[in-house]
């Protein structure tokens, strides 16, 4: 039986180690190039979302800036099929 999404997804210390490892390799947002701060200035994003079959691996992860106008929120909305707000 295949693991469920929650069983397959990395968490805890392993996730924190991955966040530091990937941020250390490239501390800038993969979408806009903005320099991000560790640990709260970015989200670790899956290039191919897990719900679309992407693997939970370092190679499928990237740093995206967060915040009110951050790239992570925009990409997440796009991944879920949401349209951008008018005038945005």
Mean pLDDT estimate for the chain: 88
Q: Is residue 3 part of a domain?
A: no
Position of tokens 């099929």?
81
70 domain-assigned: yes
Q: Which is higher by pLDDT, 24 or 68?
A: 24
pLDDT for 38 beyond 70: yes
Residue 63 counted as domain residue: yes
Read off the tokens for 8: 């397959």
Position 68 in a domain: yes
Tell me, yes or no, whether 22 lies in a domain: no
**87 is a domain residue:** no
**Is residue 77 in a domain?**
yes
Q: How many CB atoms lie within 10 A of CB 8?
A: 11
The boundaries of the domain holding residue 56 are 30-82
Q: In total, how many domains does the chain have?
A: 1
> pLDDT tens for residues 50-85?
989 999 999 999 999 998 889 999 999 998 888 766
pLDDT tens digits, one per residue of 39-58: 999 999 999 999 899 999 99
């Amino acid at each position: 039986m295949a693991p469920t999404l929650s069983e397959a997804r990395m968490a805890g210390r392993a996730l924190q180690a991955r966040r530091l490892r990937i941020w250390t390799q490239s501390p800038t947002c993969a979408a806009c190039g903005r320099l991000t701060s560790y640990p709260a200035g970015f989200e670790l994003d899956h290039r191919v979302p897990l719900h679309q079959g992407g693997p939970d691996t370092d190679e499928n992860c990237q740093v995206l800036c967060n915040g009110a106008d951050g790239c992570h929120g925009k990409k997440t909305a796009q991944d879920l099929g949401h349209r951008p707000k008018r005038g945005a």
